[in-house]
Structure 1
């Protein structure tokens, strides 16, 4: 399990020299599609979760609906974000072939960043599936952020505003999704600080 210090710290270090997180043939997409909240998103997560659990079985140590589609009332790209925790994300043979058979495609490999892998499902329901190890702090942060936004409408609305602004600016400049994410980063970190403080994680 990650420590308190690991949860409240963010690893912003760049990839190692010459490293590319995108697997051959994959690249970040442009054209940020922002849609209004859809009450059907939780059900789409359940459909995807059932598919993942069916092919991975007990290799699923934890599975969570995260990201904007997991927060009622929040606009989002119509793509279901899911965190999958496995014993060792570096052992791709333990989960990637099974997920590929279930309609997912490996697009990102970042062993230097919490062992992160990402797979994408383009057939409805569309999904980004993020894979981490059990000792990674990132899934913990994602759940804290999700739950904070669910319980704090003011921060949810503030995040909605920056999402719409970031999408508009990124689309106007032809930027890709990683640049869109960067435009939201300052507001995200400010919200995290309030969530961490409320959870008692910032106490010495």
Structure 2
């Protein structure tokens, strides 16, 4: 289990690391859609497929990201955290997921051995972490905080909308909303007695 220090520290990937397995994706326009009450059902179907394909390799599967927060506008992309014993052992999970249509697109050893696979239809970002990754805890805490704190949910949605006009790729969009995300993390960590 990660320590409070591990969880509350903002980890960044090595800037010299080239995470894109097949090169960076082309710039896309970020489009936010109103909350879709069908997102949780879509997640449950996707999660069941992942669990069926991986069996015991899937230690846990969680709906995270904006589509997991009722009432929050989001990109129409389901974010899922998949916990496996060792993300470096790609042979244990990539081939079965490839059979479902997923493609390995990101490999970030410097960021908790993070891997990301993408499904094109419906669009899914499947984030792979190990059981001791602090990022898994952070994702769940952020999701749960936004579910129960409407002021921060609204603040986050406002930051997302303000980040769109800058254009560029999703990484640039994410960077433009990072300050607000970190402010929210600070509040939720303090409320949890972790800071």
TM-score strictly above 0.5? yes
Whether 2:175 is the aligned partner of 1:182: answer yes
1:27, distance to aligned residue in structure 2 (A): 2.1
CA deviation vs aligned residue, 1:52-76 (integer Å, no higher than 9, x gap): 0010011111111000000000000
Say if 1:28 and 1:153 are closer, same or farther in 2 by CA, change over 3 A: farther
Counterpart among 78, 94, 100 of residue 80 in structure 1: 78
Number of the residue aligned with 1:170: 166
Corresponding pairs, count: 195
Aligned residues: CA RMSD:
1.2
Contact 1:103 1:121 in 2 (8 A): yes
Say if 1:185 and 1:91 are closer, same or farther in 2 by CA, change over 3 A: same
Q: Runs of 5+ in structure 1 lacking a partner? A: none
Q: Runs of 5+ in structure 2 lacking a partner? A: none
Counterpart among 166, 176, 193 of residue 186 in structure 2: 193
TM-score, normalising length from structure 1? 0.92
Whether 2:28 is the aligned partner of 1:35: answer no
Instruction: State how far apart, in whole Å, the 1-side matches of 2:39 and 2:57 are.
Output: 25
Instruction: State how far apart, in whole Å, the 1-side matches of 2:113 and 2:97 are.
Output: 17
Corresponding residue SS for 2:182: helix
1:85, distance to aligned residue in structure 2 (A): 0.7
Contact 1:64 1:84 in 2 (8 A): yes
Instruction: State how far apart, in whole Å, the 1-side matches of 2:186 and 2:173 are.
Output: 21
CA deviation vs aligned residue, 1:59-99 (integer Å, no higher than 9, x gap): 11111100000000000000000001100000000000000
TM-score, normalising length from structure 2? 0.96
1:13, distance to aligned residue in structure 2 (A): 5.1
Alignment of 1:81-120 (within 5 A): 81-120=79-118
Contact 2:12 2:111 in 1 (8 A): no
